[in-house]
Amino acid sequence: MSSDEEPEGGLRRRPVEPPRWLVLGSAAFAAAGFVAASVFGILWWVAGADGDAGVAASREDVVRVAGQAVTAFTEVDYEDLDGYFGLQKSLATEDLRAQISSAEQTYGKLITDARTKVVSTVQDVAVEELNEREGVASALATVRTEVTRGEDQGSKTLRLEVQLTRVDDNGEQVWKVSQIGDVPVAATSQ
């Protein structure tokens, strides 16, 4: 029997359709679900991006301060030792500042006697560790130094590790250098 023919007895079966109110209610629930999922998805994305932005900003601060520290601790002019030590102290934690102050007179005399001038060029700084919760970080830096002692001149590339601690500075949280030194060279075994 084709769809155009009537069944025996003259009654045609109509397809069963859900009530109109059920169709409209289902569409309303689907739309509400889509809106809720969209809103919560956007809120989740924004919350995640805010956390990433905070970490990224901290990484940038660590790189900036580590770069400044590398320059402050490697670039020297025997004719401006107050500026040399003053810059180091401004970037240092309280403990490191005390160490600098105690060694300032001895190192100042050695630098002056040798008529030492060093010009530093920071080539790269990379964050090695960043612990926001504890307020500690470390960075590795490569710096090229041009050294002049009297009439002697030379250049050297240094690889330094900078340890930083977040401290309160006049009500603002800032990164300060807690330690700086050469990156240890690992010996290879054969």
* CATH number of 76's domain: 3.10.450.230
pLDDT for res 135: 92
127 Cβ contact partners less than 8 Å away, ≥ 6 residues apart: 59, 62, 63, 66, 137, 138, 139
pLDDT for res 58: 87
Residue 189 lies in a domain: no
Cα(182)–Cα(128) distance, rounded to whole angstroms?
Answer: 14
> Has this prediction a pTM greater than 0.75?
no
Residue 56 lies in a domain: yes
Cα(116)–Cα(105) distance, rounded to whole angstroms?
Answer: 15
Number of domains in the chain: 1
Residue 59 lies in a domain: yes
Residue 8 lies in a domain: no
pLDDT for res 188: 63
Q: What is the pLDDT along the chain (190 residues), one digit of tens a residue?
A: 555 555 565 566 777 777 777 777 788 878 888 888 888 777 777 666 555 667 788 899 999 999 999 999 999 999 999 999 999 999 999 999 999 999 999 999 999 999 999 999 999 999 999 998 899 999 999 999 999 998 999 999 999 999 999 999 888 899 999 999 998 776 666 5
- Specify the residue for token string 């790269």: 124
Residue 9 lies in a domain: no
Residue 5 lies in a domain: no
Residue 166's domain comprises 26-182
Q: What is the DSSP code string of the chain?
A: --TTSPPGGG--PPPP---HHHHHHHHHHHHHHHHHHHHHHHHHHHHHHHHHHHHHHHHHHHHHHHHHHHHHHH-EETT-HHHHHHHHHHHB-HHHHHHHHHHHHHHHHHHHHTTEEEEEEEEEEEEEEEETTTTEEEEEEEEEEEEEETTEEEEEEEEEEEEEEEEEETTEEEEEEEEEEEPPPPPPP-
Residue 169 lies in a domain: yes
- Specify the residue for token string 């020297």: 76
Residue 64 lies in a domain: yes
